[in-house]
């Protein structure tokens, strides 16, 4: 008796692993690579993947033009061409009806090779409909073996799998964040908690949907809750809904508005937000997980380790944070930015790179930009600071940072970049902005607020972000500085997200980024 052959696999797409090639490099006299590559960068995928229909890219080609794809994330506009490093066929999972193979429900192909971003001929940022278009759905369904469901909510593409693939996982698919899960209901968005429509609405004179400048809406919400004497700690604006964070669990929800400016209001509680406690002191002898780059560099730049003097209470402890950028104020003075809380008053005003004692004194902290946790450092005349990022395997050339950019100039899903001594180069996606209340012990004083950004950094990213990276600059692919790292919750509803101080806070005070191109 002859056995029936196994069913033929059907190739539904081709995956090309590519490495963008920088054609016009900055003229630098020396290498801009880190001396030590932190673990987070070293273990992240270095390449991007292009997924097309089989045969679309001629097999004889060994390179491909960026212009063939709509705004590909992770492929710098400075690299017009990418080298094709590897080709992999993606096969459709096929049901096996033959009784001889009844123990095999499906025949799944091998896992795709790791990539940071999955690029397609379509861009879901332009039309977010991955499950309604048969062609898109067919390709997305077969990226990972064992896919049993596809979903989307306007923010993420969700792939439900029988088993999760080996890490690392891609950050984006067709320009939007990707989320892999096993069970329905798992997602990284804060839960929608509306209140009864009977509660009424506020700010009906405004149209709150997708506002370019939503500060008037925030002020209306802030004033309303102040009149109600209900303390709130944050207002997030998602374009078609606002999320309001209540300070206390025992708040009477019957008094909360269900709508503001004709869009819905959802609610969270402060104890769900996972905000960090105060920065901990460090010792030179402390273990350093993640292989941080604590090297001492001759020229200062974004993403270097800085530290306070030793704490008076202990001759061996100090506070560690990260350099930001070089700014200029309205009268021409230049300052390096650092995280203010990393330089407590009892430590004095000296700033060291990389550590006190064995490092060098690079300048003096002269002031804090109120309510921002950004402090300004006047560098010594012997110090030079260059607003240029590090080069790495994932950045084909260093990026000359251009300017401070307002949050309104950054579309949703824009790629944001960080490079700290603790993580090296990492990426996320800007999702929305918020106003956060500044904690105060004086409840009788008027509440101060600060403008912030929320970026999604990828699944299981939370543990990559130690508190010492506070002060790191956050920039776009084009080199625009969008803000500065504040914290990344390690638990709670916003785990795997990153909060940054919006650059608007400095722009509104008259600060600009120094052009250091001629100082390299």
Query: In the listed set 379, 394, 417, which residue is the last one of a domain according to the structure?
Result: 379
- Per the model's pLDDT, the better-predicted residue between 94 and 353 turns out to be 353
27 plus 172 within the same structural domain: yes
User: Is 254 inside a domain boundary?
Assistant: yes
pLDDT over threshold 70, residue 294: yes
Alpha-carbon distance of 475 to 473, in angstroms, equals 6
Q: pLDDT-based confidence at 172, cuts 50/70/90?
A: very high
Mean pLDDT of all residues belonging to the chain: 89
30 plus 100 within the same structural domain: yes
What residues contact residue 83 under an 8 Å CB cut-off, 6+ apart?
Answer: 18, 19, 21, 62, 63
242 plus 210 within the same structural domain: yes
Alpha carbon 356 to chain centroid distance?
Answer: 30
- Per the model's pLDDT, the better-predicted residue between 96 and 336 turns out to be 336
257 plus 306 within the same structural domain: no
Percentages (nearest 5) of helix, strand, coil residues in the chain: 10, 35, 55
Q: pLDDT-based confidence at 24, cuts 50/70/90?
A: low
pLDDT, tens digit, for every residue of 226-284?
999 999 999 999 999 999 999 999 999 999 999 999 999 999 999 999 998 766 667 77
- Residue 99: its pLDDT value, please? 32
Token digits of residue 410: 């950054």
- Residue 8: its pLDDT value, please? 62
pLDDT over 90 percentage in the chain: 66
Q: By C-alpha distance, which of 453, 452, 444, 450 is closest to 226?
A: 444
Mean pLDDT value across residues 49-66? 90
266 plus 311 within the same structural domain: no
pLDDT over threshold 70, residue 60: yes
Instruction: Provide the greatest CA pair distance for the chain.
Output: 92
Number of domains observed in the structure of the chain: 3
Please count the residues of the chain. Answer: 520
pLDDT, tens digit, for every residue of 352-388?
999 998 999 999 999 999 999 999 999 999 999 999 9
261 plus 135 within the same structural domain: no
- Range in 93-102, 214-223, 348-357, 425-434 the model is least confident about: 93-102
93 plus 153 within the same structural domain: yes
- Residue 238: its pLDDT value, please? 97
Q: By C-alpha distance, which of 368, 369, 381, 383 is closest to 304?
A: 383
The phi and psi torsions of 317 (rounded to 5 degrees) equal -115, 150
pLDDT over 70 percentage in the chain: 90
Buried b or exposed e, range 258-284, using 16+ CB within 10 angstroms: bbbbebbbbbbbbebbbbbeebebbee
- Range in 75-84, 255-264, 275-284, 484-493 the model is least confident about: 275-284
User: Is 384 inside a domain boundary?
Assistant: no
61 plus 155 within the same structural domain: yes
pLDDT over threshold 90, residue 420: yes
Mean pLDDT value across residues 177-202? 93
Buried b or exposed e, range 147-183, using 16+ CB within 10 angstroms: beeeebeebbbbbbeeeebeeebbbbbbbbbbbbbee
101 plus 143 within the same structural domain: yes
Q: By C-alpha distance, which of 56, 47, 195, 37 is closest to 114?
A: 47
158 plus 234 within the same structural domain: no
User: Is 475 inside a domain boundary?
Assistant: no
226 plus 339 within the same structural domain: no
Please give the C-alpha separations between residue 444 and each of 447, 448, 462, in angstroms, as whole numbers. Answer: 9, 12, 35
Please give the C-alpha separations between residue 88 and each of 55, 85, 109, 427, in angstroms, as whole numbers. Answer: 12, 10, 11, 25
Mean pLDDT value across residues 342-360? 94
Q: pLDDT-based confidence at 100, cuts 50/70/90?
A: very low
User: Is 508 inside a domain boundary?
Assistant: no
Alpha-carbon distance of 421 to 415, in angstroms, equals 20
71, HSE (Cβ side, Cα atoms, 13 Å) = 15
- Residue 256: its pLDDT value, please? 97
Q: Are 52 and 452 in contact (CB under 8 A)?
A: no
- Residue 76: its pLDDT value, please? 83
pTM: 0.92
213 plus 176 within the same structural domain: no
Alpha-carbon distance of 22 to 396, in angstroms, equals 5
Alpha carbon 463 to chain centroid distance?
Answer: 14
pLDDT, tens digit, for every residue of 454-480?
999 999 998 889 889 999 999 998 899
pLDDT over threshold 70, residue 13: yes
User: Is 135 inside a domain boundary?
Assistant: yes
CATH number of the domain residue 317 falls in: 2.40.10
Write out the H or E segment, with its range, that includes residue 220. Answer: helix 215-228
Q: By C-alpha distance, which of 363, 275, 277, 286 is closest to 318?
A: 286
- Per the model's pLDDT, the better-predicted residue between 490 and 379 turns out to be 379
Domain extent, residue 204, equals 197-272
- Residue 113: its pLDDT value, please? 80
Residue 222's CB is within 10 A of a number of other CB atoms, namely 17
User: Is 463 inside a domain boundary?
Assistant: no
pLDDT over threshold 80, residue 132: no
Q: pLDDT-based confidence at 109, cuts 50/70/90?
A: low
Q: Are 220 and 208 in contact (CB under 8 A)?
A: no
Q: pLDDT-based confidence at 65, cuts 50/70/90?
A: very high
Q: In what order do the strands lie in the sheet with 176-181?
A: 63-65, 81-92, 10-21, 48-52, 117-119, 172-173, 176-181, 157-161, 147-152
Strand partners, 21: 81
- Residue 98: its pLDDT value, please? 34
Q: pLDDT-based confidence at 97, cuts 50/70/90?
A: very low
Burial class (CB in 10 A: 0-12, 13-18, 19+), 8: exposed
Q: Are 240 and 210 in contact (CB under 8 A)?
A: yes
Query: In the listed set 353, 379, 405, which residue is the last one of a domain according to the structure?
Result: 379
pLDDT over threshold 90, residue 23: no
Query: In the listed set 148, 181, 214, which residue is the last one of a domain according to the structure?
Result: 181
Beta strands in 394-461 (DSSP E): 403-404, 415-420, 424-437, 449-456
Q: Which residue has the tokens 């045969």?
A: 55
User: Is 468 inside a domain boundary?
Assistant: no
């Amino acid at each position: 008796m002859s056995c029936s052959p196994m069913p033929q696999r059907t190739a539904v797409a081709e995956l090309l692993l590519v490495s963008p090639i920088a054609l016009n490099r900055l003229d630098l006299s020396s290498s801009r690579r880190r001396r030590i590559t932190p673990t987070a960068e070293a273990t992240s995928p270095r390449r991007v993947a292009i997924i097309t229909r089989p045969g679309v890219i001629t097999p004889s080609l060994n390179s491909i033009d960026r212009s063939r794809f709509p705004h590909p994330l992770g492929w710098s506009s400075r690299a017009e061409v990418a080298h094709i490093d590897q080709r992999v066929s993606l096969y459709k999972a096929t049901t096996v009806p033959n009784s001889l193979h009844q123990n095999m429900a499906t025949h799944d192909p091998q896992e795709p090779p790791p990539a940071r971003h999955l690029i397609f001929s379509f861009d879901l940022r332009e039309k977010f409909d991955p499950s309604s278009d048969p062609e898109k759905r067919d390709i997305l369904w077969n990226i990972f073996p064992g896919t049993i469901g596809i979903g989307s909510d306007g923010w993420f593409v969700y792939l439900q799998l029988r088993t999760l693939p080996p890490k690392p996982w891609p950050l984006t698919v067709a320009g939007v964040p990707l989320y892999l899960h096993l069970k329905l209901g798992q997602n990284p968005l804060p839960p929608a908690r509306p209140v009864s429509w009977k509660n009424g609405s506020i700010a009906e004179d405004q149209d709150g949907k997708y506002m370019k400048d939503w500060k008037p809406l925030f002020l209306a919400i802030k004033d309303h809750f102040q009149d109600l004497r209900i303390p709130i700690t944050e207002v997030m604006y998602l374009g078609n809904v606002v999320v309001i964070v209540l300070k206390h669990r025992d708040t009477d929800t019957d008094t909360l508005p269900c709508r503001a400016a004709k869009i819905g209001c959802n609610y969270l509680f402060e104890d769900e937000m996972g905000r960090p406690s105060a920065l901990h002191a460090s010792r030179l002898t402390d273990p350093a997980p993640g292989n941080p780059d604590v090297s001492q560099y001759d020229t200062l730049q974004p993403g270097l380790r800085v530290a306070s003097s030793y704490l008076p209470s202990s001759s061996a402890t100090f506070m560690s944070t990260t350099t930001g950028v070089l700014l200029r104020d309205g009268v021409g003075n230049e300052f390096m930015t650092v995280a203010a809380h990393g330089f407590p008053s009892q430590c004095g005003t000296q700033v060291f790179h990389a550590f006190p004692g064995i490092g060098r004194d690079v300048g003096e902290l002269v002031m804090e930009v109120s309510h921002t946790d950004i402090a300004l450092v006047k560098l010594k005349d012997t110090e030079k600071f260059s607003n240029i990022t590090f080069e790495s395997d994932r950045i084909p050339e260093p990026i000359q940072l251009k300017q401070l950019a307002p949050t309104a100039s950054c579309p949703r899903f824009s790629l944001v970049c960080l490079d700290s001594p603790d993580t090296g180069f990492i990426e996320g996606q800007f999702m929305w902005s918020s106003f956060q209340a500044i904690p105060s012990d004086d409840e009788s004083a008027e509440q101060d607020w600060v403008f912030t950004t929320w970026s999604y950094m990828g699944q299981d990213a939370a543990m990559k972000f130690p508190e010492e990276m506070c002060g790191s600059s956050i920039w776009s692919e084009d080199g625009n500085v969008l803000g500065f790292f504040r914290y990344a919750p390690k638990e709670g509803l916003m785990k795997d997200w990153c909060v940054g101080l919006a650059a608007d806070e400095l722009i509104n005070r008259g600060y600009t980024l120094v052009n250091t191109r001629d100082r390299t």
